[in-house]
Each structure stands twice: as structure tokens, then as C-alpha cells.
Structure 1
Amino acid sequence: MLKKLLRILSFFTIVLLLSACKEKAILDNLTQEQANQVLAILQQHNISADKSGTLKAGYSITVNNSDITVALSVINQYQLPWAADVQIRQAFPDSSLVASPNAEQARVISLQEQRLEQTLRIVAQVVNAKVHISYPPFDNGSANKRPSAHVGILISYKGEMDENTFVSKIKSLIKNSINDVRYENISIVLFPASTIQYSSPTKLPEAMPGLWEIIISLIIIFALIITGYLIFKSSQTGLTKKELVSESGGEGVNQK
């Protein structure tokens, strides 16, 4: 009976301890670079996160249950995880079949869009960026001169910034990244990123532990008291039985 009660008390104590510090994975199967990017951005927003896993199996990002909602909001706002950096050799492998000129041109434009997006994300205040380059008409080798490219960029940003200066710098970057685009054909639209309603947890003084700590401490103390009482009663019962046996043995000797 005593062992059964001890097992039950131990089980409930472990369950409570686990539920109090439980973490949940919000992203998995990440590369090491993606995991580091997610970890860095979450920590910039005062969200405690951990990275676990291996290079072969992939990495996971876990956060406390209390931070899941805000962590997912940050992930959605930054469109995480970001795709791996575009490499030209991956887009045009040696083993690939020879594509038509139009198909190759479309692929090159798509690569330019992705590389420019990756470059813009490096800027400190940029939360996310989307780049769209106009596709020229596929005229199947017509001798007509193709029109100049047009570039549209959508950027969400955080904090305060001088929009005119920022737009001018981005236009210069785009102008010098694409050889057939005019400065006046570059359009940049800026949107402030939505504010995530979150404040970092306030650390309480050591003399004021959290509610979970108080509850768990009381349960553990209560369990120890019950366990001690049961052990004491068990030992007392054992002693009583020994005394009875001893007394009955002594009476038997006296009768002889």
C-alpha cells in the first residue's frame, strides 16, 4: 500500500514539473543557417528560444508555451524561415537540359528577384521585402527592341526612418543591380510593419517566486509530509508487531 501511494505521488509530481516548464517546437526540419536566423530574430524580440537537432536530421526551434503566440506572430511577419541564398550554379546545373532562350531569361529574372530580396533583408530596418521585375514579351527572336524593364518593390520596415533618403538609396541599389532598368522605372512602396503586442517578461525579485513555483513547492512539501507520515506509521506498526511477538515469546518462556 505504501509503495503504491509513493508511486502515485511521484507520478503527479513529475507531471506537474513537466507541465510547468514545457516547451513546444514551432519550426523543424531547418538548416543550420535558417535555425540561426530564426533564433536571432526571436531573441531580438525578447523571446527566449532554443535550437536543437543535427546537421543531417535538421534543426528545430522551441519556445516556452507562454511565448508561442508572439513567436508565431514574429515568424509570420518576417516570413520565416527564409529560403537558402540563391546560387547560380544551382539554377543552371551542368546536368540540366538546354532550355529555350525565353525559359532561360525567365529563370534569370526570377533569380534576380530572389537575390535582390535577400540583399534587402540585410538592411537593419527591413522586416521583409518583395521584388518584382517585369518580364519582357517573349517574341521568339523578333528583331524589335525590347522595352526597358520595370521594377516594383514592396518593403515592410520597423522603427523610424527618413523615407525619401531610404527610397533613394534602394533605387540606386536596384539601378546598379539590373543593367536594363531606368531610374524612373523603379517603384518602391514602403509599409510600416505591424506592431506585435508583446512585452518581455518582468523578472520578479527572488523573494517573490512565480505562481507555478509556489504551487509546485507546496505540492512537493505536502507529498514529503505524507510520505514521512506513512513511513513513520509503517515503522510504528512494525515495532508494535515486534513487541507483541516479543511479549508473547516471553510469556511462553515463563509458562514453561
Structure 2
Amino acid sequence: MFNCLRACLLACCVLLAGCEQELLKSLDQRQANEVLAVLQQANIAANKKDVGKLGYTILVDEKDFSAAVDLLKTRDLPSKARIEISQLFPAESLVSSPRAEKARLYSAIEQRLEQSLLTMPEIVSARLHLSYDVEGADTRKQAGGVHLSALVIYQNDVNESLLINEIKRFLKNSFQTVNYDDISVVLAKKPIAQHSSPLVKAALSPWLLGGLCVLFLGLIGVVLTLCWIKFGRRLYPSKRETQG
């Protein structure tokens, strides 16, 4: 009887756990923590699961899945893995041409600058594009100047003019040859996420509600049976026990 009761309780746990849906997988610890923090700030209940060599998986309730996807799309998450220049140009590797070397270098610089912009508290997402003279890398002619364009999504109420000036000054000081007028910054404010608190649960689906009712009735039957075995015989002894 106790084994039956234990099995019923386990079945209840399995049903409740089945409400969660996989949102992201194969994340490193930094990416998983960033996603988890953003979801919790938006009142979306989420769990982080360590799956060993496969990284981390983020789970959310089925009712929150659509809201979570929209939120992560707005915040441009999960973020890219951090780029180190030494990873792109290891000492033992052979670079095919100066043009390829320059393209890879500027691509890495783009990502490094994006990562730096994200450290500003007002910025939630940043995309940086560099325009440069690729042909000048394979010839001796003087290469053209660098042009920078940044697309930035920010949060809270900020002075847009001040934020643009800060971003342009940061990018200007990141290159020796770039002109201030060759830097363009486009701002967009993050939309306000509308989502209910995870404490307010949505109505259970019919099949889940029916399954829980069946398990609940089964648990009641098991408890009544155990009570009868323990106390019923004392109150209503059988004929054999009475004759004895």
C-alpha cells in the first residue's frame, strides 16, 4: 500500500514537471545566467538545468513560452560568446592573405566594441558595423578611412542626445583614424514588457486537471484503505475473530 502511495505521489510530480518547456539549450554559464536574470526581472518563472558537457538548458512554463521568446528577441539574448583576438589569430595558424587578416581583425573589433557598449547600464542591446577599405590591405595604396555605425537599444528614461554623444566619443577614441562625423548612432527604446506575475497561474489544461483529479481520488482511496486496515478491524471484527 505504501508503495502504491509513493507511486501516486511520484506521478503527481511528473505531471507538474511536465508543464515546463525547453526554451534554450547548449548555453555556457554566463549566457544562462544572463537569460535567467532577464526572465526573472520580467516576472517569468524560469529554471536553469546543468546537462554536463552539453552546457545549460533554460526551462520555462508552457504559458510563459511565447512571452519569454519575445523578451529574449528584444534583448538580443543569448549573447554571443566573448571574442578574444588571440583566439582568431593563434600563433600556430596561417593567415591566407592580408585582406583576410584585416577582415577577421575588424570583425573581432566589432564584437569587442559591442561587448563594451553593453557594459553601460542604459544599453540592453548593441550592434556595431565597420566600413573600411578592404582593397587597401592587398596593395600599397593608402587605405580609406573607417566609418562606424551603431544600432543601440536602451532602457529607462535617458537623455538621447547625451547617450549618443557618449557612444560617439567612446567609438571615436577606439580608432586613431576615424573622424567624428563618420560615426552614426541610431537609438531605439526597449518596449515595455507586459507580463503577469508567475505567482498568478493560468488555468490548468483539461487533461492535466483531469489527471490530477484521478490521482487525487486514487490517493483518497489508498488512505481510506490504509485506515480500514489499521482501525476497521478493531471496530468491526470478523465472525471468526468473534467466535474465537
Q: Which whole-Å deviations, capped at 9, do the CAs of 1:1-56 have from their partners, x for residues lacking one?
A: xx7xx95x876664444334543331121111211221222222222322221663
Q: Could you tell me which of 93, 96, 103 is aligned with 2:93? A: 96
Residue in 2 aligned with 1:226?
A: 221
**1:192/1:66 CA distance change after superposition, 3 Å:** same
Change (3 A) 1:172 1:10: same
SS at match of 2:115: helix
Question: Does the CA-based 8 Å contact 1:42-1:49 persist in structure 2?
Answer: yes
2:125 is matched with 128
Q: Residue 163 of structure 1 corresponds to which residue in structure 2?
A: 160
CA RMSD, Structure 1 to Structure 2 (Å)? 3.4
- With structure 2 as the length reference, what TM-score do the two structures score? 0.79
Deviation, 1:72, is 1.8
Given that residues 135 and 149 in structure 1 are in contact (C-alpha distance below 8 angstroms), is that contact kept between their aligned partners in structure 2? yes
Q: Give distance in 2, aligned partners of 1:165 and 1:87.
A: 30
Which string of whole-angstrom CA distances, capped at 9 and with x for unpartnered residues, describes residues 72-131 of structure 1?
A: 222222222212211011010122113311111111111111111111112212121110
Give yes or no for contact 1:129–1:156 (8 Å, CA) kept in 2: yes
1:18 alignment counterpart: 14
Q: TM-score, normalised by structure 1?
A: 0.76
Counterparts of 1:1-256 in structure 2 under 5 Å?
A: 7=4, 14-21=10-17, 22-53=19-50, 56-139=53-136, 141-201=138-198, 222-230=217-225, 232=228, 239-240=237-238, 242=240, 246=243
Which of the two has higher C-alpha Rg?
1
The offset of 1:216, in angstroms, is 9.6
CA separation of 1:228/1:43 partners in 2, compared to 1, >3 Å: closer, same or farther? closer
- CA distance in 2 between counterparts of 1:227 and 1:194 reads 52
Secondary structure of the residue aligned to 1:184 is helix
Identity of aligned residues (%): 33
Q: 1:95 to 1:41 in 2, by over 3 A?
A: same
Segments of structure 2 that go 5 or more residues without pairing to the other structure are none
The code of the aligned residue for 1:47 comes to I
Q: Which amino acid aligns with 1:67?
A: D
Greater displacement, 179-188 / 134-143: 134-143
Q: Is the 8 A contact 1:31 1:58 kept in 2?
A: yes
